[in-house]
Amino acid sequence: MSDVKCKICQNKVEKSSDKFCSNHKLAKTKLQNGYELWLKAYDTLSYDDFLQQLLGLGDLVGILIKDVAEFELYFQVSK
Ligand SMILES: [Zn+2]
């Protein structure tokens, strides 16, 4: 077992190279798939805009996905 903790919920991660626990890792994968889908619908959409629009959907977005979206938006500089 590793002592590395999920950056979002502080649960232990499966592998020390992981940033998130298995729940949030899954949510991150869904988030990325969602972004790719949206990219097909919009001509241009930055990842940040996507995250912001997603968070604007409120309760339609699963809590785990929202966690990851907020994390990426506010704590990650992914330029
Ligand atoms: Zn987590």
d(CA 69, CA 54): 8
pLDDT digits (tens, 9 = 90+) for 13-53: 999 999 999 999 999 999 999 999 999 998 899 999 999 99
Spacing, Cα 69 to ligand 1 middle (Å) = 12
d(CA 69, CA 41): 19
Spacing, Cα 5 to ligand 1 middle (Å) = 8
Q: Which of 24, 32, 4, 35 is nearest to 13 (CA)?
A: 4
Q: Global pTM?
A: 0.84
Q: Which of 63, 68, 64, 67 is nearest to 78 (CA)?
A: 68
Domain count, the chain: 1
pLDDT at 1: 52
pLDDT at 37: 94
- 16 part of a folded domain: no
| pLDDT beyond 80 at 11 | yes
Domain span holding position 58: 22-75
Contact 51, 73 (CB under 8 A): yes
- 59 part of a folded domain: yes
| pLDDT beyond 90 at 77 | no
Spacing, Cα 4 to ligand 1 middle (Å) = 11
Spacing, Cα 13 to ligand 1 middle (Å) = 8
